Amino acid sequence: MTMITAKPNQFKGYSYLLILLSGMILYACTQGQSKNTGLSKSMKDHSKTKVFGEMVAELTSPPHVPPPIGNRPAMKLYMEMEIIEDEMVMADGVSYVFWTFGGTVPGSFIRARVGDEVEFKIKNHPNNKLPHNIDLHSVTGQGGGAEASFVAPGHEKTFSFKLINPGLFVYHCATAPVGMHIANGMYGLILVEPEGGLPPVDKEFYVMQGDFYTEGKFGEPGLQPFDMQKAYDERPDYVVFNGSVNSLIGENALQAKAGETIRIFFGNGGPNLASSFHVIGEIFDKVYVEGGDQINYNVGTTLVPAGGAAILEFKAEVPSNLVLVDHSIFRAFNKGALGVISVTGEKNNKIFAGEIMEGIYLPEGGTIQKMPVDGSKVTQPSPMNKSELIEAGKKIYMQACFACHQSNGEGVANAFPPLAKADYLNADVNRAIDVLLNGLSGEITVNGKKYNSIMPSQQLKDEEAAAVLTYVYNSWGNNGTHVTPEMVSKRRKK
C-alpha cells in the first residue's frame, strides 16, 4: 500500500489557503447581511434606550397612516383605543356585526419608534356584549399584553411596555375563543420604526386582509351571522381588504400620481388564510419580508402569512388603475379581495405604450393559407335560424362568459352583474351589442344594484356575437330577442 504524505511547507500552504477562503466567505456573508438590513440599523439593545419627553400618539383609521417618525428621539407615548362591537357593511346589501379596535376593520394604525415606552389604555364600550383584550406582536412580555389588557364591557385597562424590536407587526384580540374574535375583525398593525426612521416616500397606505365566515353564501343579502363550522373548516365566504368588499374600489380607491413613490403597509389578520399579495400592473421595488429586516428586490407577488405583515415599496411610473389582489385569484374576483390604486398623470410611452396594433394571427405564416381545389365551388353555409343561434350561442357562452356571469346567468354579487332577468340588457339590444363588441367599464346599475367592474371587448365574428346574445336573450327570463348577424354588423360599423 502506498501512503501519500505532504511536506511541512505544503501544510502551511493549505492552512493559508483555508484561512483566506474563510475570510472571503465571512466577508461575503457580512456584506450580504448589511445589504439586506432594512428596519434594523444595528443590533443595539433598545431595552436600555433612554426616553426624552412624552407625547400622545396619533392613531389613524385605514387606509391612512400617521406621519413618519423621522429623527425624533425615543419618547414616552400615550395611546388610547376603544373596542366597539357594531353592525357594518360587508358588501352591497350585506351587513355583519364586526368586533373592532377603534371602530374600523382593521383597527387603528399605530406608529412608534424603537425604544419608545408606551402607556396603553384600552376601553371596552359599555354597549358591548363580550370581554376583549389585545395581543401586540411587537411586545415582549406575557401574551404580548393580552393578560394585562383583559377588559370587561364598560371597563378600561392601562398597561405599559417598551418597544425593543423594529418592524411591522400585527396586533389582535386574544380572548377565547381567539379564532372567533380575530374572525370578527379584531386585528390591526403597529409599525415600530428604526432609529432615524424609514426612508421618505410620497404616499403611504394601510391595507389589511381578512377572511370572514357567514351563514349565508357570498352576496346573500341581510345581516349575516358568524358561522363557526365554516371557520373550523377554513371555508370563508369573504376574503376582503380593509373589512369589506368595496373598501378600496370605486369612490374608495386609493389615489396617487405618476412618478410618486408608494409604500404599502400590508397585514394579514387571517384568522386562517395566507395571502399571495400582488399589485396588477406594478412590481415591488422593495419588499421588507414579513415586516422585518430582510429586503427582497424586484418582487411580483409576496406571501404574507396569517398574523404576519410586509412593507412594500414601488414607484408608480405611468397612469393606470393598479389592482390590488390576493393572487389566490378566486378570492379576488369571487370573494372580495380586490382594491385599486388610481394613478393619474402624464403618459410615458417608453414604459407603456398600450395597444399599438391589432392583426390577424396566421400560425402557418402569410403565404400558405389555401388548399388546392378540384374546381368545384365552395358553398357558403346558410344563415342559422333562431333555434340554431341559441344552440351555438350556448357553446360560446360556456366557453367565454360563464366564469363571470355564471352558468345560470346570476353573475357574482358585488362583482359581475346578472344577465338573468336583467333590466339593463332587456332595455336596449343595441347597447348590449355595443358592450359585447367594444367592452364596458365604469359604474352601471342592473336590477337596482350598482356594479363597477370591467368587461373586455370580445373578439367574435358577427354570427358568433349574434348567437351568444340570442342565447342570453332567450334564457333565464329575458325578453326573447332574436339578434341577427346583420344587426351586429350594423353596430360594428358605427
Q: Same domain for 243 and 390?
A: no
Q: Can you give the C-alpha Rg of the chain in angstroms?
A: 30
Q: Same domain for 189 and 129?
A: yes
Residue 403 is assigned to a structural domain of this protein? yes
Among 182, 251, 207, 222, which Cα is nearest to 413's?
Answer: 222
CA 76 from chain centre, in angstroms, equals 34
- The SS3 of residue 183 is helix
Q: Cell 346558410 sits at which residue?
A: 382
Q: Same domain for 242 and 118?
A: yes
Q: How far is CA 317 from CA 28, 119, 248, 310, in A?
A: 34, 42, 21, 22
Residue 161 is assigned to a structural domain of this protein? yes
Check which CATH number belongs to the domain holding 102 and give it: 2.60.40.420
Range(s) of the domain holding residue 452: 386-492
Q: Same domain for 447 and 301?
A: no
From CA 102, how far away is CA 84, in angstroms rounded?
Answer: 7
End-to-end CA distance of the chain: 95
Alpha helices in 235-347 (DSSP H): 330-335
From CA 445, how far away is CA 417, in angstroms rounded?
Answer: 9
Total domains, the chain: 2
How does DSSP classify residue 199?
P
Question: Helices then strands (H, E): number in the chain?
Answer: 11, 25
From CA 475, how far away is CA 396, in angstroms rounded?
Answer: 14
Tell me how many degrees the CA angle 162-168-169 measures, rounded to the nearest 5.
Answer: 70
Alpha helices in 327-378 (DSSP H): 330-335
Entry pTM: 0.72
What contacts 159, CB < 8 A, 6 or more positions away?
119, 120, 122, 145, 148, 149
Among 344, 362, 377, residue at a domain's last position: 344
- Bridge partners of 132, per DSSP, are 151
Binding site annotation covers 132?
A: yes
- Bridge partners of 211, per DSSP, are 239
From CA 266, how far away is CA 190, in angstroms rounded?
Answer: 11
Binding site annotation covers 137?
A: yes
From CA 238, how far away is CA 209, in angstroms rounded?
Answer: 10
Binding site annotation covers 46?
A: no
Residue 375 is assigned to a structural domain of this protein? no
Q: Same domain for 394 and 297?
A: no
Check which CATH number belongs to the domain holding 452 and give it: 1.10.760.10
Among 386, 399, 384, which Cα is nearest to 475's?
Answer: 386
Binding site annotation covers 405?
A: no
From CA 283, how far away is CA 262, in angstroms rounded?
Answer: 11
Binding site annotation covers 125?
A: no
Among 344, 362, 378, residue at a domain's last position: 344
The per-residue pLDDT string of the chain (494 residues; one tens digit each, 9 = 90 and over) reads: 444 344 444 444 444 454 445 544 444 444 434 344 456 555 788 888 999 999 999 999 999 999 999 999 999 999 999 999 999 999 989 999 999 999 999 999 999 999 999 999 999 999 999 999 999 999 999 999 999 999 999 999 999 999 999 999 999 999 999 999 999 999 999 999 999 999 999 999 999 999 999 999 999 999 999 999 999 999 999 999 999 998 999 899 999 999 999 999 999 999 999 999 999 999 999 999 999 999 999 999 999 999 999 999 999 999 999 999 999 999 998 999 999 999 999 999 999 987 776 555 555 554 445 555 555 555 556 789 999 999 998 888 876 787 688 878 888 777 789 999 999 999 999 999 999 888 888 889 999 998 887 777 777 889 999 999 999 999 999 999 999 999 999 999 88
Burial of 288 (0-12, 13-18, 19+ CB in 10 A): buried
Q: Same domain for 321 and 398?
A: no
Determine how many CB atoms are found less than 10 A away from the CB of residue 421: 15
Residue 3 is assigned to a structural domain of this protein? no
> What is the sign, positive or negative, of the torsion defined by CA atoms of 125, 131, 137, 139?
positive
From CA 300, how far away is CA 281, in angstroms rounded?
Answer: 10
Q: Same domain for 325 and 466?
A: no
Binding site annotation covers 172?
A: yes
